[in-house]
Structures are given as C-alpha cells and as structure tokens.
Amino acid sequence: MTAPAPWVQFLLLVFELALVLGISPMLVGIMRRVKARSQRRLGPPLLQPYRDLRKLFRKDRIYAESASTLTPYAPWVSFVALVSAVPFLPWFFVPAPLGFAGDLIVVVGLLALSRFMTALAALDAGSTFGGMGSTRDMWIGALAEPTFLLVIFAWGAPSGSTQASVIVEHGLSLGLAHLSPALLLASTAFGVLLLAETGRLPVDNPATHLELTMVHEAMVLEYTGQDLAVIEWGKGIKFVLLAGLLTAVLLPWGIATALGAGALALGVGLLLVKLSSTAWLVGHLETRVAKWRLFRVADLSTLAVALALGSIALTYLVGVGS
C-alpha cells in the first residue's frame, strides 16, 4: 500500500475536513429527530441545527462583566483542537493524510486540550453554574482518560501500532476474523466512552433546562453569538470524531485503501451510513435510559475500564500478532 502523492493527500485532507465540518450538524439533527420520534413527538427538521448555527453566527456577542480576555478566545481554541483531530483518523481512505504525524494518543491529547479550554472558560465569569459544569466535566473527562488509553492499547495490540490507519488496515486484512471477542469488548468500552465524552444520556442530558442538572450546558450559559455557534458545532464534531473512529475500527469494511473513484465513493457513502446509524442508535438509547446520578458515572467508567482490560487480557490469551 503506497501512500498517494502529496497533493492528493492534501486534497483528501481538505475534503475530509469539509466533510466532517459539513455533516456534524446533520448528525445532531438525526439524534434529535430519532429521540423525538421515539417519544411520539414530531421533532425538529433534520436541517434545524444548520439553521441554529446560522442564527447564532448572526447574533451579537455578549460577555459577562466579570469575564477576562480568556472568554472570547477559549471556545475557538477548543473548536480548533477538535477540528485538528480530523486528519489523524481514518474516514473513508487509509492511510489517513496526517497519520504519520500523529496517532490515537495525539487525538486523546487534542480532545483533552479542547476540554481544558472549555472548562477554563466556564470558570471565567465566576458564576456558580459555570464552576459546577466545569468541575463535573473535568471529572468525567479525567475518568474517561484511562478508558480511552486502554482501548487504544486493546485495539492496537494485534497490529502493534497506536496509529489509526495501521489498525484499520490490519483489520481489513483479516476479513471477518477481524471481529474477535477482544475487539468487541474494547469497542463496547469505547461506546460507553463515546456517551460520556459527548455528553449524552445517561451521563449528561443535552436537552435539559434545569441548571442544577447540567454539565455541558452549565458551562456554556455565559456564551452567545458566534462563540456559542462554534461551541455547538464543536460538540457535533466531537461526536463525529468518536463515532467515526469507533465505526472505522469496528467495521472497517468499505474504507478505501487505494485511490479510485469507485472505491472512494463507496468509502464516503458507507461512512455516511455508519455515522448516521451510530447517531440513530444513540438517539434510541437516549430515550430508553434516564440520566444517572453524577457519582454513578464513576461506575460506568469503571465498567468501561474493566471491559478494556478484559479485551487486553483476551488478546494475551490469543497471542499478539496472530
């Protein structure tokens, strides 16, 4: 598998960025719609998140009187960190354009950078809600970190690499044997992580209107206008990043390994199918669980760590590289 020419790589990179930026509001729309439908509501149109973004980008910005100069910039840095994770992941073509420059640990680092910035910004105005959201979000994030790392180890062990592209290529080379029990365990752990990281039920309720129960929403209470737009957009991108990674590793089929119009079209098409089914699944899940008490989230994290460890243990038993 030879890597394509640099200019092709660059085109791929730009296209991937555009694709992720473009479809992320759509996935938020799908989740809302699925949730509404399964609650016997009509729900907003699928394109509503785009309209929301347009509206927010047009609105005036207002900052709290007590906020420092960190407030206007933090959401943008957070957004940039999320967008920058895109070229390190496999979307519809491997090797990923910047796969050589960063592996999944870099992705973990970029997500942490993004969270660090939003959590700081939440403290900036000095409101009680901001502090509450900030400490809860960092708490969930700190507990999610070991899961993420161990899942990377579990996913990477068979191919001996922490690079997403190598993991996917290895998976493709195995055919159906790729779906090993170890992989399923690790991917389940990652699924739990996805819910926690993207602030979905049962960890956080994205639709709540009661400040005391909020995590993410409490952190962004002080924001409006274009700042809130990139925060909301970033939230969608984060979901796409994690869902894209999960589906690429779990079901790598369809991801192109060589350039060709047909292969690429199939890759993009299947990517859209995979992402929207993940959104559909999460939407359904959200209507079936209630929000958990904050301190029970620790149980969820422990469960995820245990699943990841179990997966690594299975890998030992089967043997590495087999």
Partner 1 sequence: MAFVAPFDLVGGALVVLAASGGAGLLPSASSRRATVGALSLALLGCLLLVSVALEVLLGGAAGTATVALPGFQSASEALSLAVVLGPLQGLFLLLVGAVGGAITLASVGYVPAYVHERPATLAGVYGLFVGSMALLVLSGTAFLFLVAWEGMTLLSYVMVVHEHGSWDVRRAGLTYLVMSHAAAAALLAGFVVLYVGTGSTNFGAMSANARALPELTRDAVFVAMVLGFGTKAGVVPLHVWLPEAHPAAPSNVSSIMSGVMIKMGVFGLLLVVFEVLGGGPLWWGFVLLVLGAASALLGVLNAIAQHDVKRLLAFHSVENIGIIFMALGAALVFLSLGWPALAAVALLAAILHTFNHAMFKGLLFLGAGAVVGTTGTRDMEQMGGLARGMPRTAIAFLFGAMAISALPPLNGFVSEWLLFQAFFASFGTGSLATEVAFTAAAGTLALASGLAAYCFVKAFGVIFLARPRSEVARSVRSDAPAAMQVGMVALAGACVTVGVFPVLLLSTFAGTVRTLTGASYATSPWAWGAPLAFPSVSGAATPSVPPHGSLAIGVVALLLMVVLLAAMVLRRATSNGSPSRRPMWDCGMDAPTPRMEYTASGYAQPILRLFSVFYGAHPVSELGDLGGARPGVLQKTVRHESEVDYPLMEQVYSPIVRLLRELARRVSRLQSGGIHAYLAYMVLTLVVLLVASRLFGGVLP
Query: What's the gap between Cα 158 and its chain centre?
Result: 23
Asked if residue 172 binds partner 1 (CB under 8 A), the reply is no
Q: Are 215 and 199 in contact (CB under 8 A)?
A: yes
Binds partner 1 (CB under 8 A): choice among 36, 46, 120, 266: 120
Closest to partner 1 by CB, 91 or 129: 129
Binds partner 1 (CB under 8 A): choice among 27, 34, 52, 103: 103
Residue 227: both structure tokens together: 């700042």
Angle of CA points 226, 122, 296, to nearest 5°: 120
Closest to partner 1 by CB, 224 or 276: 224
Which region holds residue 321: left if phi is over 0, alpha if psi is between -120 and 50, else beta? left
CA distance 92 to 90: 6
Asked if residue 12 binds partner 1 (CB under 8 A), the reply is no
Closest to partner 1 by CB, 34 or 312: 312
Binds partner 1 (CB under 8 A): choice among 91, 93, 148, 190: 148
Closest to partner 1 by CB, 174 or 281: 174
Closest to partner 1 by CB, 27 or 121: 121
Q: Smallest gap, in angstroms, from Cβ of residue 204 to partner 1?
A: 14
Output the DSSP codes for 18-31.
HHHHHHHHHHHHHH
Closest to partner 1 by CB, 158 or 254: 158
Asked if residue 232 binds partner 1 (CB under 8 A), the reply is no
Binds partner 1 (CB under 8 A): choice among 4, 36, 44, 84: 84
Binders in 195-224 for partner 1, by CB under 8 A: 211, 221-222
Return the biggest CA–CA distance within the chain.
Answer: 61
Binds partner 1 (CB under 8 A): choice among 23, 34, 89, 150: 150
Binders in 13-42 for partner 1, by CB under 8 A: none
Binds partner 1 (CB under 8 A): choice among 31, 34, 144, 185: 144
Which one, of 83, 133, 77, 141, lies nearest residue 112 by Cα? 141
Binders in 41-80 for partner 1, by CB under 8 A: 57-58, 60-70, 72, 76-77, 79-80
CA-derived radius of gyration, the chain: 20
Which one, of 138, 75, 104, lies nearest residue 241 by Cα? 104
Contact region with partner 1 (CB under 8 A), list: 149-157, 179-187, 194-202, 284-292: 149-157
Residue 315: both structure tokens together: 């890998």
Output the DSSP codes for 142-200.
HHHHHHHHHHHHHHHTTTT---HHHHHHHHHHHGGGG--HHHHHHHHHHHHHHHHHTT-
Asked if residue 134 binds partner 1 (CB under 8 A), the reply is yes
Residue 24: both structure tokens together: 């992320």
The dihedral through the CA atoms of 284, 288, 290, 292 has a sign that is negative
Q: Are 279 and 124 in contact (CB under 8 A)?
A: no
- Tell me the per-residue interface mask from 257 to 296 with partner 1, x by CB under 8 A, - otherwise: -------------------------------------xx-
Residue 7: both structure tokens together: 């200019």
Asked if residue 153 binds partner 1 (CB under 8 A), the reply is yes
Binds partner 1 (CB under 8 A): choice among 46, 105, 263, 272: 105
